[in-house]
Structure 1
Amino acid sequence: MSLFAGGTPCWAPGDPAGQGDETPLPEVRGRLGADVAVVGAGLVGLSTAYHLAQRRPSLDIAVMDARRPAAGASGRGTGLLGPRVGPPLDRAVRRHGPATAHRMHQAGVEAVRHTVDLCARLGVPCTDGEQIVAARSRAGLVSLARQATAYRALGLDVPVLSAADIRRRVDVPYQAGLLHRHAATLDPAALTRALATACAAKGVRLYGGSPLREVHDRDGRMSELVFPHGTVRAPQAVLAVNAGVAGLGLPVGTVLALEVHAVATGPLGPEARALLGGGGPAVIDAVPLAPYFRLTGDGRLVVGGGTALHPDGTAPRRIAELRVFAWDRLERWLRTLHPALAEVEVTHRWAGRIAVTADGLPVVGPVRGFCGVWYAGGCNGHGLAMSVAHGAHLAAALLGAEDTPEPLPWHRSRAPRLPVSRVTRPLLRACLASTDRTVRRAAWPELGPRR
């Protein structure tokens, strides 16, 4: 099912298909070759191609996409550029130890800085600001306390905010929060398209309307990528297809697709903007999948999170019903943020897919049994900054660069396997329903009287 059946993001071109005035890209037809073949014209794939071309301009690089640049998750995110990657820091410490958890956090911070610098080079508007992880439920406060202890133990600059501290930034009654100073917001589709333009200017060949069907390993020296109307052979290939890898039969573990939702208002008035921080901080709930919000450059309020769906195996009519339910809940939630939002008009609703793994970590590494083939995906909804960073890492690794950094826990060949099948899908949906009940308790408590 097309993601665009889920509505149009507030930054998408004006026509319903989201195509705007873009010139269609050629399809893969016949037998083609390249030095490096990249499948997926989202942030990971285009960042890989961009950094490869930067490092070695003589390379013949081809990027293929099932539709076009920014048509998938990279064009449908809510634009939060924050340092989160993998599980919360306290869990990272328990699983990987303090030293590795510290490196994981620093890698996230560096990914934000790198993406902000890239936006400046490409002329993409990017608003520096703070990101607050906040709570107004018991579950959220417990999670915040554990994370605060871990940040403090590792000597990381992530201060605790009181309810009054938060109210001075955004006039919403959260009880406590953690402040990430190194954060920003942007239009993810604009960054993706700018990367595509920059790649084309560097001689990268771009193809659209070409979904990947199969991957073959030829004599251990050359990969062959099979598309509906042609093939591409290359000694090195990157599959930046996120949860789309599930249909290819490759040994990368389970990378599961979940559909998440967002809504946006029309431009708010000056008073409402000021009450919500004037475009500075984005506010994320400490409870996973609970609603979060931020302001855009033109003063719209964007709200995401809430209900998550597992769309595979679900009838299209049922998906449409569940989307309406999820959007309606987000609209009700945004009106609880402040009385000034009670009558605000919601002008955009959309859905997109994230890719999740059982342990919350992405997968960025070579595919076992396929010479020269790498896979990247599974950012668990925290992929804006890290997708760009993954592309830079892949470019360095493919070229054997000496400055390739020490591997992190997500630099691996596979995620844990989950028994996802037609038989076990009801169990997965029951788990999502349980998560949804936790989200409801966290996000819809009575707010109590205003000051």
Structure 2
Amino acid sequence: MSRPPAGTPCWEPADRGAPDAELPPQPQLRGVVTADVAVVGAGLAGLACAYHLADRAPGLAVVVVDAERPAAGASGRGTGLLGPRAGPPVDQALRRFGRSTARRIHHASVEAVDQVLDLCARLDVQCGLRPGEQLVATRAPAGLVSLARQAKAYRALGLDVPVLTRGAIRARVGLPHSAGLLHRPAATLDPAALTRALARACAAKGVRFYGDSPLRAARAGELIGPELCFPHGSVQAGQAVLAVNSAAGALDLPVGTVLPLEVYAVATAPLSSTAYETLGGRAGCSVVDAVPMAPYFRLLPDGGLVAGGGTALAPDGLGARRVQAVRERAWAWLEQWVGSLHPELSGVPVTHRWSGRIGMTGDGLPVVGRVPGCPDVWYIGGCCGHGLAMSVAHGAHVAGALLGDPDPGEPLPWHRSRAPRLPVHGAGRPVLRAYVDALGRAARRTC
């Protein structure tokens, strides 16, 4: 069976012209454009922000500018797991922030899942949505220790996250995991379809789009508000939102370190009905390992399977050949791991292999706040691989702040202007890359 070129997500239709025809016009930005609010980044965070601005303030002039097109970046290259997670594991959050804040972090992540489900209903878009359960489970001793700590923390906080025994897990997905935690609400969906639907909804509310226009710089404008500079023009705006995630470093934004990490995924042809049902096809489960960076999987509505994890790479500063070699090894390992899940998967072909970049921070928390020194510019990024639900929530939060919503009181830990700094340059870069590589090797050994 022939497969699409490496790098093509399974969400990308064979006819590239068809989805683009459904998107709003996206001319390249040329000359000087003015707007009340300029949003840079047509992913879930940027589009959610633009959508809520246009929905709540119909007279507001909003523009969205992207380096490529909607869903071309991380929002269209994820694996579509929608579950409650924000920041570090709950036991770490409890130790660092205390009971009240740890509980608020969990509730915020649950509300973020509900926001995505509500958004799908408001947009009347299915986007492959399958409500279900998310299992965080493991077979490795290190994973069992982590699960025990998390379960204890959930109980201490009075949160409803049930512990699953070996038998309860096997009844759901037919796998020999030793124990797990059950997260609800949860779902799986096509993240690119949701992103495109948001773009169409924004356009219907009067938002203007520009594509193929990478941001070069953001600076104080000659009049009121910031000036955003692009290769062939600029935007003069009253306020700006930079939903650029791990591109913050390349733009020299003073938001701390949001480290670009490349992660990998594969998708298969449809499984046999036996394998599909055994792995939780009817229940719509997704299974995430409790060990950081360990592989995970979910099933597709067409009967296929998507898997990711196992390897991550800090690619900045590496040559193209070395990056491609890591990709090939990561995809080959994932393909082998998928074949080990069930006897009938050993001969199922992998049809898609792709990679995407996530933004990691030193403390595992996103950054959602004003850019230091630029009070009219906001930044959104650093969801640390858990951005499907949280990106939508972050966009809504920033839209509310721009529209003058009342201060909700004590901010969540990621409502901040900077992440901790990491040694991404000079002698520290190889050390950081070696640390990421070591995490990947440890995760692969658990399988």
Common fold, TM-score beyond 0.5? yes
Taking the TM superposition and a 5 Å limit, the aligned residue runs for 1:64-103 are: 64-103=65-104
Kept in 1: contact 2:84–2:186 (CA 8 A): yes
Match of 1:447 in 2: none
**Matching residue's letter, 1:156:** L
Counterpart Cα distance in 2 of 1:191 and 1:406: 31
2:165 is equivalent to residue 162 of structure 1: yes
User: Could you say if the C-alpha distance between residues 312 and 100 of structure 1 is closer, same or farther in structure 2, counting changes exceeding 3 Å?
Assistant: same
| Paired position in structure 1 for 2:146 | 143
Report what 1:119 is aligned to.
120
**Aligned residue type for 2:10:** C
**Tell me, what secondary structure is at the counterpart of 1:417?**
coil
Q: Of 168, 176, 181, which residue of structure 1 is paired with 2:179? A: 176
Deviation at 1:296, TM superposition (A): 1.2
Aligned to 2:10: 10
Does the alignment pair 1:387 with 2:388? no
Contact 1:38 1:61 in 2 (8 A): yes
Matched AA of 2:48? S
**SS at the partner of 2:29?**
coil
- Asked if 1 retains the 8 angstrom alpha-carbon contact of 2:213 and 2:231, the reply is yes
Q: Report the Cα distance in structure 2 between the residues aligned to 1:363 and 1:17, rounded to whole angstroms.
A: 35
For each residue in 1:158-180, what CA deviation from the matched residue of structure 2 results, as whole angstroms up to 9, or x when unmatched?
A: 01001110000001111100000
**1:124 Cα deviation (Å)?**
2.4
Q: Which amino acid aligns with 2:77?
A: R
Match for residue 236 of structure 2 among 212, 227, 233: 233
Aligned twin of 2:416: 412
- Equivalent in the alignment of 1:46: 47
Shift of 1:19: 6.8
When residues 425 and 441 of structure 1 are mapped into structure 2, their CA distance, relative to the original with a 3 A threshold, is same
Measure, in 1, the Cα distance between the counterparts of 2:409 and 2:331: 41
SS of the equivalent of 2:310 reads coil
Contact 1:221 1:372 in 2 (8 A): no
Listed one character per residue, the Cα deviations across residues 101-160 of structure 1 (whole Å, up to 9, x for unaligned) are: 000000000100110111112132211100000011011000000000000111100010
Q: Deviations over 1:383-406 (max 9, x none)?
A: 000000001100101111137564
- Cα distance in 1 for partners of 2:241, 2:18 equals 26
Pairing 1:195–2:205 present: no
Corresponding residue for residue 212 of structure 1: 215
Q: Pairwise CA RMSD of aligned residues?
A: 1.7
- Alignment match, 2:319: 315
Out of 284, 293, 311, which is 2:288 matched to?
284
Q: How many residues align?
A: 440
Q: How does 1:314-333 map to 2 (within 5 A)?
A: 314-333=318-337
Structure 1 contact 76–188 (Cα < 8 Å) conserved: yes
Counterpart pick for 2:248 among 231, 245, 261: 245
> Do structure 1's residue 272 and structure 2's residue 252 form an aligned pair?
no
Using the size of structure 1 for normalisation, the TM-score is: 0.95
C-alpha distance after superposition, 1:287-314 (max 9, x if no partner): 1110000001111110011110111111
Cα deviation 1:299-340 (Å, max 9, x = unaligned): 111001111011111110111111010000001111111112
TM-score normalized by the length of structure 2: 0.95
Cα separation, 2, equivalents of 1:223 and 1:120: 35
**Residue 433 (1) aligns with residue 437 (2):** yes
User: 2 CA distance for matches of 1:220 and 1:253?
Assistant: 28
Separation of aligned partners in 1, 2:161 and 2:265: 27
5+ residue gaps, structure 1: 445-451
- The equivalent residue for 2:111 is 110
One of 356, 359, 364 as aligned partner of 1:352: 356
Q: Deviations over 1:359-387 (max 9, x none)?
A: 00000000111131000000000000000
In the alignment, what sits opposite 1:448? none
Give the SS at the match of 2:250: helix
